[in-house]
Amino acid sequence: METLRLRALRQPVHAERLLEALATRANIIPKNSFRICDPDALPVTLQRVMFDAAQEGCIWVCWARGSHSWLFTCETRDPTSPERPAVVLRVKVYGQDGDLMEAGDWTLAADGKWERCAA
């Protein structure tokens, strides 16, 4: 049963919701940022990153505030351990200029908070 739940959460629509929740609840983006859903509305530098990520099967979400934008890409990973079966997101965060700012694996803890996976 747990395997079916994990497979369902790995579907793109669920993974996108998880990525959105991570970005907003883990305090990675500033408050009062707004979501950019239209790829054509992204800065050209982030459009290239988004396109490359989509070609690799990753999903993306982008936020902006003022003149700054943050593009998040992710792919789902297998759980880090059999004792703790949870969806793991391999997340990359890009800044306005398209440079990679941060990368790492994140999972949703039992208390509902996002935490980085141990390396």
Q: Are 93 and 72 in contact (CB under 8 A)?
A: yes
Are 107 and 114 a contacting pair, CB within 8 Å?
Answer: yes
Give the span between the Cα atoms of 114 and 23, in whole angstroms: 9
Give the pLDDT score at 27: 81
Per the model's pLDDT, the better-predicted residue between 119 and 8 turns out to be 119
Model pLDDT for residues 33-91, shown as the tens digit of each residue: 999 999 999 999 999 999 999 999 999 999 999 989 999 999 987 655 555 567 789 99
CA distance 3 to 85: 8
pTM: 0.81
Confidence of residue 2 (pLDDT cuts 50, 70, 90): very low
**CB 111, CB 25: distance < 8 Å:** no
